[in-house]
Homo-oligomer: A and B are copies of this chain.
Amino acid sequence: MRNEVFKNRSHDPRIAYRGQNASRLDNLTDAVFGIAITLLIFNLTNPNSFEDLLTFTKTLPAFLISISFIILIWNEHLYFSEVYTLNDSMLAFLNTIFIALIIFYVYPLRFLTLYLTNYFFYTDIAVTIEGNQVPSLMIYYGFIAFALYFILFLFYQRAFKIKHELALNEFEVFYTSSQRWRLFIMFSIPLLSILVTLVINRYSFIWASLAGGLVYLLYTPLIIWWQIKFKSRSKAFDYV
């Protein structure tokens, strides 16, 4: 019925993909994501003249940044669901919180889109923020990033716990444990950024904003370090 030549291309042959076909919970999650993405930009402005249309178009670059954040999170959901499926009441519960957080993610991203558009193009879309609110805004985004990755961490945590029910093989147990570490990195950095911003904000909101932002640069070395470690260790399973 289906040609399988390419289907598993980017898939690891050592992993049994339990959820290759989308379940209804996947479909529900995708519907929410689709609506969230569409509403990110819809109703922002309702262009009735050509000038309005041009102003609207200027939101495109900022919109591309916002949509990327959503797709990144969607990919994490896809990768997890493909390997383990969400056929477990605890995972279904976590998925409910995940869906709720995604919808909550849209308004701040919309806010960010408009703010960046004003910043790039000197447009006058009504968004007001003052200098001394920037640290609070960074704490805000940091908290959402933390919450989303923490839920994803709990997904892998749960998968690890029910490894016997899932009949995970040795490589899959290692993979689950590694992914858990990756998501630990993913949620720890926003948390660190929040702490740094909070502490320095007592003295100066400018330095707090700067330092809080710089913490996110830690993502690059830490994820590279994780990948090197994951690859070297996963080689041991090649001949199993």
Residues of A within 8 A of B (CB): 1-7, 9-10, 16-28, 30-43, 46-50, 53-54, 56-57, 60, 63-64, 67-68, 71, 74-75, 78, 81, 84-85, 87-89, 92, 96-97, 99-100, 103-104, 106-108, 111, 126-130, 133, 136-137, 140, 165-167
Contact = CB atoms under 8 A, between A and B. Distances in A.
A50 B6 contact: no
Nearest to A71: B96
B75 A92 contact: yes
B50 A133 contact: yes
Question: 5 nearest interchain CB pairs?
Answer: A31-B34, A6-B18, A35-B38, A3-B16, A49-B128
Contact of A166 (B1, B6, B136): B6
A134 to B, nearest CB: 9
Contact of A85 (B7, B111, B137): B7
Nearest to A74: B28
A24 B38 CA distance: 17
A100 B104 CA distance: 20
Contacts of A22: 23-24, 27
A39 B38 contact: yes
Given A60-B104, A127-B48, A85 B140 contact: no
Residue of A48, A74, A127, A137 with most chain B CB atoms under a 10 A cut-off: A48
B87 A6 contact: yes
A130 B20 CA distance: 52
Contact of A78 (B24, B64, B99): B24
B5 A16 contact: yes
A79 to B, nearest CB: 11
A111 B53 contact: yes
A30 B31 CA distance: 8
B20 A67 contact: no
B140 A57 contact: yes
Residue of A7, A25, A140, A165 with most chain B CB atoms under a 10 A cut-off: A7
A36 B34 CA distance: 10
